[in-house]
Amino acid sequence: MFAQWRDIFWGERPLFEALSGKLSGVFDGLAKRGALSEADVAEAMREVRLAMLDADVALSVVKDFVNKVRERAVGHEVLDSISPGQAVAKIVNDALIDALGGAGAVPLNLNAVPPVPILMVGLQGSGKTTTSGKIALRLATRERKKVLLASLDTQRPAAQLQLQQLAERAGVPSLPIVPGQTPVEIARRAMDTGRREGFDVVILDTAGRLSIDEALMNEVREIRAETSPAETLLVVDAMTGQDAVNTARAFNEAVGVTGVVMTRMDGDARGGAALSMRAVTGAPIKLTGSGEKLDALEEFHPERVAGRILGLGDIAGLVEKAADTLDHEESEKLALKMMQGKFDLDDYAAQIRQIAKMGSLSGILDMLPGMGKVKQALGDKDLDTSVLKRHQAIISSMTRAERKTPAIIKASRKKRIAAGSGSTVQDVNRLLKQFDDMSTMMKRINKLGMKGLMRQGMSALMPKGPKPPGGRPFG
């Protein structure tokens, strides 16, 4: 089944991909050695150190991390254990969780007299304004809070208008724009409006700069003094690596940071900035963003991230993602039709659309235990939805009769469909082959029933064909 979907999705490189691959290599090497010596551990720690530095983790964080792991890994409970390689991996997993902030997501602090002020800070281009809109949507829909968005950015042209538009998309009010007011005056008016009109939360989006300067910090200090925010959230771009770490350190020293929001988590395969944030600010990563969609905001779970780095997966995260994104009534209908052998190309297109809602296959695979090696076997290609659009175009170019009965699609029809969808006959053939394979598998499952499937195992679903001497099927 994986092979069928492998060709449908190609996209962004998931966070920590490079680090995950290198650490997997280290632990595979340890596992093969069996019994470990202190020299084996020392060599492994050297490789871990290099892997973390290559992932753009801050040097101070790397030194502290490696020292903690080495101290525990050279103990008798590891060197004398039955599976020392696994024991070292467990120590590294625990150390990763600790470096990322400890187990469990840290929620936004709304424990204050309403309206609760949330101050958004960060450099220009970090995604601060978009993140403000995302948080507003999240609080309004998930927490049922009455949220007011207010732009304090008088530096960037149209910044206030941008936040106003984001507020409209999120379905929350924004503070009316009054030209000529200073950021502090706008903040004061936002809080007054929040108290007067019964808002639960006021999100204050401050101005950014292309780089850190004293004028920016003074402005943020004045706004903090005026509003006494329950949260001062620093928004940083994960793609900027060490620059993000330096930004975090500067903002924390100047104005204090209670939490970090990391954006563009889908665009950086190294992830070193995330591993460094807690150490340089003392504040937890609370939320992560990926993409421009307003619902593309997630809680940060250190233990889940650590699991994904070490190839242990994130089943809990996958279940949550499915619950948030999939149309479950539609999914149940599709599943029933598949099991009944009534699956057609319209249903196939609907299934593709459902899976596409989950994001790239690359990201999904990262959440499944042990799938890191499967991804490596695919080479350096990145998983996305590029082929998805082609498949949808091909199916849309078919007549209703062709979608319901694909067997009627012969050479002349294939040429017409290819021309109408801007694809090739080979593309049409591949789609039909994938659909046929899936249909065949579903029919076998239906014929066997669950008892038969459990009795015979997955081998019962494999294609029937000639067998070589010894009774093993070809392929």
Task: Output the pLDDT for position 185.
Answer: 96
CB under 8 Å to 387, separation ≥6 — which residues? 7, 8, 9, 10
Per the annotation, binding residues are 122-129, 205-209, 263-266
- Report which of 414, 358, 422 is spatially closest to residue 384, judged by C-alpha positions: 358
Element (H, E) at 130: helix 128-142
Give yes or no for residue 135 having a pLDDT over 90. yes
- For the cut 80, the answer to whether the pLDDT of residue 3 exceeds it is no
Mean predicted confidence (pLDDT) in 373-390: 54
With CA atoms as reference, report the closest residue to 265 among 95, 65, 17.
17
Q: Is residue 35 within 8 Å of residue 53, measured between CB atoms?
A: no
How many of the other CB atoms lie within 10 Å of CB of 19?
24
Tokens of 107: 């929620």
CB 62 within 8 A of CB 245: no
Q: Which two tokens stand for residue 206?
A: 């401050």
Cβ of 335: how many Cβ atoms within 10 Å? Answer: 13
Extract the annotated binding site for GTP. 122-129, 205-209, 263-266
What pLDDT, on a 0 to 100 scale, did the predictor assign at position 330? Answer: 59
Instruction: Give Cα separations from 298 to 172, 190, 223, 435 (angstroms).
Output: 19, 27, 27, 34
* Range name among 202-206, 212-216, 424-428 with the lowest pLDDT average: 212-216
Report the pLDDT value the prediction gives residue 474, as an integer from 0 to 100: 31
The beta strands (E) that lie in 57-176 are given as 116-121, 147-151
CA distance readout (Å), 180 to 133, 185, 186: 24, 10, 10
What token pair was written down for 3? 């092979």
Beta bridge partners of 232: 119
Q: How far is CA 235 from CA 21, 205, 208, 216, 316, in A?
A: 28, 11, 10, 15, 26
The per-residue pLDDT for 84 is 63
Model pTM score? 0.64
Q: What is the maximum alpha-carbon separation in the chain?
A: 86
Q: How far apart are CA 388 and CA 394, in angstroms?
A: 10
Domains defined for the chain, CATH in brackets: 2-9+326-461 (1.10.260.30), 17-99 (1.20.120.140), 116-300 (3.40.50.300)
User: Which range is most confident: 4-8, 39-43, 129-133, 470-474?
Assistant: 129-133
